[in-house]
Amino acid sequence: MTEGRKVGILGSGTVAQRLGRGFAEHRFDVMLGTRDPKKLEEWKAASHGKVSVGSFAAAAAHGEIVVLATAGSGTEAALDLAGPEHFIGKLVLDASNPLDFSHGMPPGLLYGTSDSLGERVQRKLSHARVVKCFNTVSHAQMVDPHFREGIPLMMICGDDPGAKAETEKILRELGWPGALDVGGIDAARWLEALVPLWVRVGGRLETYEHAFRAVR
């Protein structure tokens, strides 16, 4: 059913590369978007399945689903370059985090906890269906996760119930047991706020392949 389903991924870093390769391995038709397509030539040559590389606008236009995987500080600029008209009606999975490295490591949050990047993206792309997803786990675990102590549900949030149901389906196809829906897009404040904690916990555990799991 997902055979050839088109995904545009905005980004060229480790997250975009891992998600791009993973979606392609699961038979999606993937295009990565960047300001400098030349830097993804090696990635493209080493990937299997349907992969291509283009500008932010080309990748956004390509995707029925668009994934945001740019540095949080550049996400809104990337959306301007991509052209908000390319997102109308689409499912947008926002994996980016508004991390503030101005005081070094570990990071803080660019917008504190009275706003979030997820909300800013939804405000900018008011005709898209934005779901915060992937932002609380390492790039290495985003597709076919392999946690030794059990795979958690992926924490997601967004305003559109249909978009969240669609996201959960995609997550299952990528090897996740399902999604934990923590609320509307305003809950992105708290999914994003988990990340500075995730970095601190990773420092303590000496791994960045960990994740938070709700247990009861």
Residues that bind ligand NAP (CB under 6 A): 11-16, 34-36, 69-72, 74, 77-78, 95-97, 99, 135, 138-139
C-alpha 112/C-alpha 32 separation (Å) is 30
Instruction: Pick between residue 14 and residue 207 the one whose CB is nearest to ligand NAP.
Output: 14
Minimum distance from residue 184 beta carbon to ligand NAP (Å) = 20
Instruction: Pick between residue 65 and residue 78 the one whose CB is nearest to ligand NAP.
Output: 78
Minimum distance from residue 3 beta carbon to ligand NAP (Å) = 27
Instruction: Pick between residue 68 and residue 91 the one whose CB is nearest to ligand NAP.
Output: 68
Q: DSSP characters for 151-172?
A: PPPEEEEES-HHHHHHHHHHHH
Minimum distance from residue 138 beta carbon to ligand NAP (Å) = 4
Instruction: Pick between residue 32 and residue 163 the one whose CB is nearest to ligand NAP.
Output: 32
Q: In b/e form, how buried is each residue of 26-35, taking b as 16+ CB within 10 angstroms? A: bebbbbbbbe
Two tokens, residue 65 = 């689903």
Closest CA to 37 of 50, 51, 52, 53: 53
Contact 24, 3 (CB under 8 A): no
Minimum distance from residue 117 beta carbon to ligand NAP (Å) = 8
Give me the count of residues in the chain. Answer: 216
